[in-house]
Amino acid sequence: MAEEQQVGPDKRLSIIKIYVKDFSFESPQSPAIFRSEQWAPQTNLNLRSTHTAVEEKLHEVVLTITIEAKAKDDDKTLFLVELHQAGLFDITGYGEDEFGVLVGSFCPNILFPYARESIASIIQKGGFPEFVIQPLNFDALYSQSVQQQQAETPKMETH
């Protein structure tokens, strides 16, 4: 069922669909890794989100999370997970700045719990201990991204 947020008379944000767009799990050291008594991998989490206009009002937001766990002693990959958690959103009536915040922060925040559950489940099904991704502050991540883009944009000189 679609959730809808009415903000003003001409503004609308509705969740049309939440879905997994792509998902992969690799465990190249299996089954040998399960014979090890010590489990203390180093994990690396990469996160990004993208936005694509599907139609005038419909927008796909994809939250991509990649997690790689490596053995501390020999740097071999123990498992690698990549998930593209997607959502289709009906977004209408917002200005450019508001729209940027919606697709860069609000929508990824909606998708994140689904991604967390999928990743935790596949890692456990792969035979590994429970893996919990800590909550993320998408507002801060979006703000940081905007600041970085502004810093990289060359300033126009006026005379």
Q: Where are the domains of the chain?
A: 4-152
Contact 131, 116 (CB under 8 A): no
Greater confidence (73 vs 46) lies with 46
Q: What is the pLDDT of residue 139?
A: 79
Fold assignment, 4-152: Bacterial Protein-export protein SecB (3.10.420)
pLDDT at residue 156 is higher than 90: no
Per-residue pLDDT of 93-102, as tens digits, reads 999 889 999 9
Contact 25, 131 (CB under 8 A): no
Per-residue pLDDT of 24-42, as tens digits, reads 999 999 998 888 777 788 9
How many CA atoms within 13 Å lie on the side-chain side of 68?
Answer: 10
Per-residue pLDDT of 106-137, as tens digits, reads 999 999 999 999 999 999 999 999 898 988 88
How many CA atoms within 13 Å lie on the side-chain side of 102?
Answer: 24
Structure pTM?
0.82
Question: What are 83's strand-pairing partners?
Answer: 23, 65
**Nearest-10 crossing angle of helices 107-125, 138-152:** 110
